[in-house]
Amino acid sequence: MDLPTVFFHGATLAFQRDDLGKEIMGIAVPGALALMADPLASLVDTAFIGHIGPVELAAVGVSIVVFNQVTRIAVFPLVSVTTSFVAEEDATSSDRHKDEISGDNENNVSEMDELISHEETSGKSSFETGSSEINIEHTRKKIPSVSTALLLGGVLGLFETLLLVSCAKPILDFMGVKADTGMLKPALQYLVLRSLGAPAVLLSLAMQGVFRGLKDTRTPLYATVVGDAINIVLDPIFMFVFQYGVSGAAVAHVISQYFIAAILLCRLRLQVELLPPNLKHLPIGRFLKNGSLLLARVIAATCCVTLSASMAARLGSTQMAAFQICLQIWLASSLLADGLAFAGQAILASAFARKDHSKAKATASRILQLGLILGLLLSLLLGVGLHTGSRLFTEDKGVLHHIYVATPVQLQYAES
């Protein structure tokens, strides 16, 4: 089926609150909010650091770009593949479990019929005691992809920490941060400290992929809300009370990320068996094979953002500060679309596992239609809202001027 046919299939049902619409929104909305946790935390850092000065804001901006882009390369293929694999395996195991329960129920009924035909019952019948209400002990699900995701997330997180700590100065030099600009010292401090939280960030995102595959996006949302609240509280304490400056912002962010990872891990252990009995059950080959194409796409997108940040840093601290504010706002808002993507992945994987092709077709059409509408709304919101909201991050007139230039729809109003 060609793309126009899929896109316009059931177009009048895009906003209908049917079972499919509720399922998509139930996964997409909490999932998007949870996915926005790290960019929002960076946005909080940006807001506080912007009131220290444009040089510090520009320095942290470069460091955040470096950290986020390295993290995206490592985690987005992992999260996407994890969501699909977990949804597929969960659907298959659930169907198998239902078949087993159905078979057990039939056997129990047969046994009870036979007993009743041979025994006389009174008061509490043998039927009541024999069936035992068919109590089923709750057991944790055994999904090999979960353990694979956590293993890869932890290893990639440690590798990212080692890479950024050991190569922080050469990377910043490549990004155009020179010592004579005054940005090198704060950028180096923030990047090294922030990189210590990489294992927690990648583990958290991997676990979010698992929960999305299980169609549970509320748990990651609750965990990230707690983490962001901790970050917001600790930021001014470390930055202004203890006078750690940009280093305090990095420390607060790292602490909040480890809180998020701990909460998610505790909740995940209640639902899924994390340590499979045999390492051969870890489908690492499937992860690497299916994630390679996604990795290539993410690297291509990452290169564009990294190149833009490098060019802005070379122009000066004022231009880089404006770029940082615009970039963080754009990243935080654009991740709303990723919520739809993860909902589509989870539902499509389950539908294909059950060979429900009609639901897969309807899901693909609904996701494409909602994605287009959301993109148009975000374009309008950013074009109008960035002008009025930019003063939350800085009062520097030079930085504000470059932000207005980046939003031409507001340029004439700003100059007037």
Highest mean predicted confidence (pLDDT) among 23-37, 247-261, 286-300, 368-382: 247-261
Least-confidence region, from 166-175, 247-256, 334-343: 334-343
What pLDDT sits at residue 346? 80
Per-residue pLDDT of 341-393, as tens digits, reads: 878 878 888 888 778 888 888 888 888 888 888 888 887 877 777 777 777 77
The confidence score (pLDDT) of residue 265 equals 94
CA proximity to 366, closest of 5, 4, 19, 24? 24
Residue with tokens 């109590």: 135
Q: How confident is residue 61, by pLDDT bands cut at 50, 70 and 90?
A: confident
Average pLDDT rounded to a whole number, residues 300-318: 86
Degrees (nearest 5) of the Cα angle 359, 362, 367? 120
Angle in degrees, CA 218, 223, 228, rounded to 5? 125
Query: In terms of residues, how long is the chain?
Result: 416
* Residue 128: predicted pLDDT: 45
CA dihedral 164, 264, 294, 313 (to 10 degrees): -40
Closest-CA residue to 268 (of 203, 322, 357): 203
User: DSSP of 59-126, one letter per residue?
Assistant: HHHHHHHHHHHHHHHHHHHHHHHHHHHHHHHHHHHHHHHHHHHHHHHHHHHHHHHHHHHHS---SS-H
pLDDT at site 263: 95
Residue 121: HSE in the Cβ half-sphere, 13 Å Cα cutoff: 15
Q: What is the pLDDT of residue 133?
A: 40
Structural contact between residues 169 and 185, judged by C-beta atoms closer than 8 angstroms = no
Whether the full predicted model's pTM is greater than 0.75, yes or no, is no
pLDDT digits (tens, 9 = 90+) for 193-204: 999 999 999 999
pLDDT tens by residue, 125-162: 444 444 444 443 457 888 878 888 888 889 999 999 99
Question: Domain ranges in the chain?
Answer: 19-98+140-317+328-356
Look at residue 4 and give its three-state secondary structure: helix
Res 165: pLDDT: 95
Residue 347 and residue 26: Cα distance in Å, rounded? Answer: 11
